[in-house]
Structure 1
Amino acid sequence: MNQAVAARQEQFDLRRRLWTSTTPSRALEDDRETQAINFFAQNYMLEQSIDGAPNPGLFGLFKPAFTSSSRDSSAALAVSALALSVYSRWRMDGVTEKKIANVLGGAIYKLTKDLHAEETRKSDITLLATLTLQFHSSFESLFGSNKATIVHHLGALALVRGLGPPQSWTTLANQFVAYILHVEVAAAIREHRQVHPELCYWSSVITTTSMESDTQIDALGIRVADVQVRADNIFKSTDSDPGVSSLTLERILSDIRDLDKRLVLWHDRVSHFWGPFCWSQSDIVFPPIQTFRGACHVYTSIRAARLINIWRSYRLTLTLLALQLTGGNQRQQIFDSNEVLTIETILVKRIQWLVDGFCASVPFFLGNRTNIGTVADFDNSTWRFPTCHDMSEAFDTTGRPAEMKGLESTAHHKSRAIAQGVWLIMGNLTQLVAFFLSTASLTSRLPLRNGQLAWICQQYLRNLSLLSLPWTMNKALEEQVLTGVCLPADEDLISEARRCVQRVQQGLKMTGD
């Protein structure tokens, strides 16, 4: 560790000794770091699951950093660095950049010391610090157009291995490992690789002791990643050797059907409580809430909506694989022409239904936002987001009366949607754009609704702007995309989205939620 970082740490320790409160909210108002932590705690940190709500993920695990024995811990400093980075994006004044570097240096300095001591190396708080620094790295990577590094993620994996067998982990350690698995599964599917066998074992242990739906969906995601790799190998082998056995094709298609049924069962267990629920606008909102053909679904929380979209992405991945395998050169080995036509019709309809669901979820995340926003916009009464509270009666998409669990208040949903909506929907929009713009051979066989691909691309570009990610120098074009008014030709929107998608995928490399 160089002298500059050590000097910054001494200044950091001195300043933190003056911070005597047990919670961020009591500190001095003119302290920028305290302002950032207050802002982050109010709008990003989530309570642990109550009343049947989904597990809050990493954002529900930050509070131990401030309730531990030392507010100077590596975890507290790491969360402070993340809070400052997030707060800086909302303030848009650049004043906090130097402070971020100081706090980040302090976090790394403390973490380095913790890793050299056996007691602290095996501490849950040290693992939290490592995970937070990884999220901070990915967050800054996205906004800095740099490729995300995974050094802290690899460090977290090493720390978990040092905790001993999974059966001996603490409850908090189990939650951290569940988050690591969530990130690993997302990365494996995105990168077309299998999840490491050791992590699969961790998942099997956690899954047997936890009935949380979040854990169950990640376990299914491990199987999705595995099937995807197997399908990729078949596609590669058929390029060089068209004689792939019918048994191989039958086995993987059977596994896809079985896994899809398990995903349907998972959805049946949670949708009645979390959504989606059909929403209709009861009053005139300006700016209007952008929808595709008026379709909008609401959920009990932003986290619930995110998990349902993960479920949709798994089913979409499987359905696309089945469509490619069914339509390959070997299809005549196991299907006649009529069977192929029937199967393809079913698969295409399923894809359309899943894409419709994605599109209907976008208004829940983005509301009627048409500009980047600042800290003051958290109290902006013109920003509106659809919620379950807008309806006197709620029904799921099959017409059953809802039995909601974990329902957020209107105020909490607005706060979470403003803070995290654009971030959480970005992965889904990126996936959709990548699916339909990179699989040229499938495009002609995936007849989306008229104008739907262009609408998805527009929402993707809109989301980039709401995240303050520059994608064009044409301010008039950006305003058209943000407002949805006087939009350019569909071909132009699709072209712009195709150009941007690779950069964002790099930034999302090692982030989950």
Structure 2
Amino acid sequence: MVNHGPSGGCVTCKSRRVKCDEAKPECHTCQRLNLRCGGYKAKPVKIRFKDQTSKVCNDLASRQAAQNQQLVPCLRSLTDPDPSVPFFIRHYAMMGRDMKSSRGFFEMLVPVYASEKQNSALSLAVTAVASEIMSRWRHECSSRASRETYAQAIQCLRKTIEDRNEWTNPATILAVLALQFYENFAVIYGSKSATSVHHNAALSLLPFTDQNCPDGSLIAHIRRYILHIEISSAVRQKRLLQSTAHSRIGCIEPKIAPGNFGPALDAIGAFVAELHASYWQRTAHKGPMSSTDLPRNWIAEAKRIDEQLLAWAQKVPQHLQPVRLTDGSALDPSIPTYNSTCDVYISCQIGTLWNEWRAQRLMLVKIILSSLSTNPPGRFTHPDAGTSTGVEDFARYKYTLQELIDSVCYSVPFYLGNQGGWLSIPDLTDPAIRLPSYRLLGNANHQKSAQKSEDEHRSHIIAQGPWHIMSMLSRVVAFFIEDYGQGMVSFLRPGQLQWIRQQFLRVTQLLRIPLEEAGDGRFHPLDRSVHADLDGKIDNLARRVRKGAFI
């Protein structure tokens, strides 16, 4: 006999163990006997589980972006006559950002800020940052209003953190990070000395972010950003990671933001930072080696981490890879390029991921070449080299260094286009500003990137591009003037370092960052005739920018 499964009869017929005709809404059997029909139980649903995490996250990011766009007009616009906050939110916290490049600060800032009261610590901190940035766009000095608001934000934050429940509040942590952003901005412009007070405060809150924190939650993204800036800070200061962050490196996992390759790069970056700090601390040690010092094969360790970075690059999907333009005719002739070549990316953030990757590899190459230089290349062979000799290694990594520096140079036109002079608000819509065409990314390999309008793409490049490339150019300049880098200048093409210095100076002039710290706090246009040692002053400026770099 064929078994058709459980009977679909009504509850009453089932309890009486009689045949039911299954009429709706009440069966005829119960009506005939004048019984109350108990109705029908819903049939069990067969469930098949399918992992939709990536799809859900992408859909959520798209909806979040749409909601954020709707939030912009109402962010303080009805109550605050100062347009700096909406301007900051729109051009720095929203445009050009998505979950493929999220670091966890700007992307989380918009929804949290929108729900905050106007006099909260986060609201005041964001207002201070926005006012300071707007003053630079208006070609003004440091805003007095921003300094007053900054002081109010500090006072408000102190009161806020008296309540332990606020320690895990995303708004509280974002307020701390926004204040550090303000401090870094002031360092770059020469109005303050570098400080890590707020950075350390954010690190001190890390242990509390572990409590009741699902991996995909808002606080998990913010926690990942804190780890990211700690890794970047450790690299700049040539120090080991602080223990609070070191114990949580395992929290940097791609599952927090599927499709985002930033977390995986940060996880490798933690190893780069630790090796970099250990190597330069050891080489700077002047005394005799103690009995507790163990010999390390720096070359083998650097090579092992470099292999991880190469594997990272292989996993990045094609539509997030740079597109190299080697035909000068494809670019507007007014755009300065290096060797008539330009790399194009889908956004500033994606381009900066690649420049971070290059910077990490450069540090490893520097360790390898420096280690090889302490042993005559013709006589040096290390255990992991296999059949490779020191001479072959030296030539290989010398070529790698040149290739990486070339790639940085090729990224400059993407971030700056033909911009010159001082950046101003009309530039955001100025048709005279030429950028490597976004339409170049609309080919078959980059259809997934064609989600934002070209106007929005242009605006976010003009607003954010100079900051991103300034950070990388300062790293390259510092690379060759610090930690035995002077000896590696000979590996570059003739005049290449000078070209990099000129582009760095160009971008700092674009952002009105003074070449020297002026006592009156005002920006003074560059007079080359006054600066006899211009290269030395550019190098000092690069060091200052590195101290305050926040990208």
Question: Is TM > 0.5 for Structure 1 vs Structure 2?
Answer: yes
1:44 matches 2:95 = no
Task: State the Cα distance separating 1:128 from its structure 2 match.
Answer: 0.8
CA distance in 1, matches of 2:218, 2:301: 34
1:45 is paired with a residue of what secondary structure?
A: helix
Fraction of identical pairs, as percent: 27
Gap regions ≥5 residues in structure 1: 1-21, 395-400, 479-487
1:346 to 378, 383, 396: 396
1:502 matches 2:543 = yes
> Would you say the 8 A contact 1:145–1:503 is kept in 2?
no
1:177 matches 2:218 = no
Q: Deviations over 1:171-216 (max 9, x none)?
A: 1111111111111111111211111233123220332743531111
2:94 is paired with a residue of what secondary structure?
A: coil
| Amino acid corresponding to residue 487 of structure 2 in structure 1 | T
Task: State the Cα distance separating 1:107 from its structure 2 match.
Answer: 1.9
| Amino acid corresponding to residue 476 of structure 2 in structure 1 | L
Task: State the Cα distance separating 1:377 from its structure 2 match.
Answer: 1.7
1:296 to 327, 342, 350: 342
Q: Which segment drifts farther, 84-93 or 381-390?
A: 381-390
- Are residues 107 and 496 of structure 1, via their aligned partners in 2, closer, same or farther at CA, if it must alter by over 3 Å? closer
1:68 to 104, 115, 132: 115
| Amino acid corresponding to residue 108 of structure 2 in structure 1 | L
CA distance in 2, matches of 1:237, 1:118: 43
May I ask how many residue pairs the two structures share in their alignment? 468
1:78 matches 2:125 = yes
Q: Deviations over 1:399-453 (max 9, x none)?
A: xx55654764322222112211111112211111111233556535742112211
- 2:51 maps to which residue? none
1:376 to 426, 442, 448: 426
- 2:38 maps to which residue? none
> Would you say the 8 A contact 2:173–2:205 is kept in 1?
yes
> Would you say the 8 A contact 1:300–1:404 is kept in 2?
no
- 1:270 maps to which residue? 316
2:73 to 22, 25, 35: 25
Task: State the Cα distance separating 1:147 from its structure 2 match.
Answer: 1.8
- 1:214 maps to which residue? 262
1:248 to 295, 307, 313: 295
Q: Deviations over 1:79-108 (max 9, x none)?
A: 1211111111101245x8232234223322
1:433 matches 2:481 = no
- 1:464 maps to which residue? 508
- Are residues 380 and 153 of structure 1, via their aligned partners in 2, closer, same or farther at CA, if it must alter by over 3 Å? same
- 1:309 maps to which residue? 355
> Would you say the 8 A contact 1:300–1:407 is kept in 2?
no
CA distance in 2, matches of 1:412, 1:241: 57
- 1:123 maps to which residue? 169
Q: Which segment drifts farther, 292-301 or 157-166?
A: 157-166
- The Cα RMSD (Å) is 3.4
- Are residues 234 and 158 of structure 1, via their aligned partners in 2, closer, same or farther at CA, if it must alter by over 3 Å? closer
- Are residues 239 and 360 of structure 1, via their aligned partners in 2, closer, same or farther at CA, if it must alter by over 3 Å? farther
1:87 matches 2:152 = no
2:453 to 409, 414, 417: 409
CA distance in 2, matches of 1:161, 1:140: 29
- Are residues 24 and 168 of structure 1, via their aligned partners in 2, closer, same or farther at CA, if it must alter by over 3 Å? closer
Gap regions ≥5 residues in structure 2: 1-69, 517-523
Task: State the Cα distance separating 1:338 from its structure 2 match.
Answer: 8.6
CA distance in 1, matches of 2:450, 2:278: 38
Task: Map 1:106-255; keep pairs closer than 5 Å.
Answer: 106-165=152-211, 171-207=217-253, 209-210=255-256, 212-236=260-284, 240=288, 248-250=295-297, 252-255=298-301
Q: Deviations over 1:368-395 (max 9, x none)?
A: 111112112211111122144146647x
- Are residues 137 and 345 of structure 1, via their aligned partners in 2, closer, same or farther at CA, if it must alter by over 3 Å? same
| Amino acid corresponding to residue 477 of structure 1 in structure 2 | R
2:528 is paired with a residue of what secondary structure?
A: helix
2:528 to 468, 477, 500: 477
- 1:419 maps to which residue? 463
Task: State the Cα distance separating 1:316 from its structure 2 match.
Answer: 0.6
Q: Which has the higher helix share?
A: 1
> Would you say the 8 A contact 1:272–1:403 is kept in 2?
no
Task: State the Cα distance separating 1:70 from its structure 2 match.
Answer: 3.0
- 2:100 maps to which residue? 53
- Are residues 457 and 98 of structure 1, via their aligned partners in 2, closer, same or farther at CA, if it must alter by over 3 Å? closer
- Scaled by the length of structure 2, the TM-score of the pair is 0.76
- Are residues 407 and 293 of structure 1, via their aligned partners in 2, closer, same or farther at CA, if it must alter by over 3 Å? farther
- Are residues 352 and 296 of structure 1, via their aligned partners in 2, closer, same or farther at CA, if it must alter by over 3 Å? same
Task: Map 1:389-404; keep pairs closer than 5 Å.
Answer: 389-390=439-440, 393=443, 401-402=445-446, 404=448
| Amino acid corresponding to residue 178 of structure 1 in structure 2 | R
1:87 is paired with a residue of what secondary structure?
A: helix
CA distance in 1, matches of 2:448, 2:328: 20
Highest relative contact order (Cα 8 Å, sep 6+), 1 or 2? 1
- 1:12 maps to which residue? none
> Would you say the 8 A contact 2:215–2:255 is kept in 1?
no
Task: State the Cα distance separating 1:218 from its structure 2 match.
Answer: 0.6
Q: Deviations over 1:331-352 (max 9, x none)?
A: 7463599922211100000000
Task: State the Cα distance separating 1:501 from its structure 2 match.
Answer: 2.5
1:477 is paired with a residue of what secondary structure?
A: coil
> Would you say the 8 A contact 1:290–1:363 is kept in 2?
yes
User: Rg: which structure is higher?
Assistant: 2
| Amino acid corresponding to residue 154 of structure 1 in structure 2 | N
| Amino acid corresponding to residue 202 of structure 2 in structure 1 | A
